[in-house]
Amino acid sequence: MAKTKIEKIASIEEEIKQLENKKKRLIQEQKEQERKDRTNRLCKRMGFIEKLLPDTIPLTEEQFKTFVEQTIATEHSRRVLDGLTAQDAATAPAQGAETAARGYVQPADKTAHTAQEDGADGGAAQG
């Protein structure tokens, strides 16, 4: 038996609703996977830092932030990172765009200021 136009419209509307719900689920799954990937990456990287520098473990969040700003966020570190990302750009050009899309920009004046304050030792003598 043939469907009326109203029944066809209702059927199509139901299908659209199902597809929209499926799209929402897929977006949620994608976001969940991205969160899991980020958590995994953060845990691995922080674990590596703690392995190399076990003295950072007892630091407060503020102390650790100061340590990172005065040792890792220096002009030398920026040049090393730029060199590594330039190597990656040759093999995966989308990675640089992804970092830029996240909005990460190293403040040049702060980096230069920190490098000048810390001298050649990167601030390691500050304890």
**Residue with more model confidence, 34 or 116:** 34
- Domain boundaries along the sequence of the chain: 1-52, 60-127
Residue 23's alpha-carbon distances to 14, 30, 36, in angstroms, are 14, 10, 20
**Residue with more model confidence, 95 or 29:** 29
Residue 88 has pLDDT above 90, yes or no: no
Residue 18's alpha-carbon distances to 7, 21, 24, 68, in angstroms, are 16, 5, 10, 48
Question: How confident is the model over 87-94, as a mean pLDDT?
Answer: 75
Cβ–Cβ under 8 Å, residues 76 and 115: yes
Give residue 12's pLDDT: 97
Cβ–Cβ under 8 Å, residues 35 and 29: no
Percent of the chain with pLDDT over 70: 70
Convert the pLDDT of each residue in 25-65 to its tens digit: 999 999 999 999 999 999 999 999 999 999 999 999 999 99
**Residue with more model confidence, 113 or 44:** 44
Residue 4 has pLDDT above 60, yes or no: yes
> What is the signed CA dihedral for 98, 102, 107, 111, rounded to 10 degrees?
-60
Give residue 50's pLDDT: 94
pTM of the model: 0.56
Cα separation of 74 and 80, whole Å?
A: 10
Give residue 120's pLDDT: 41
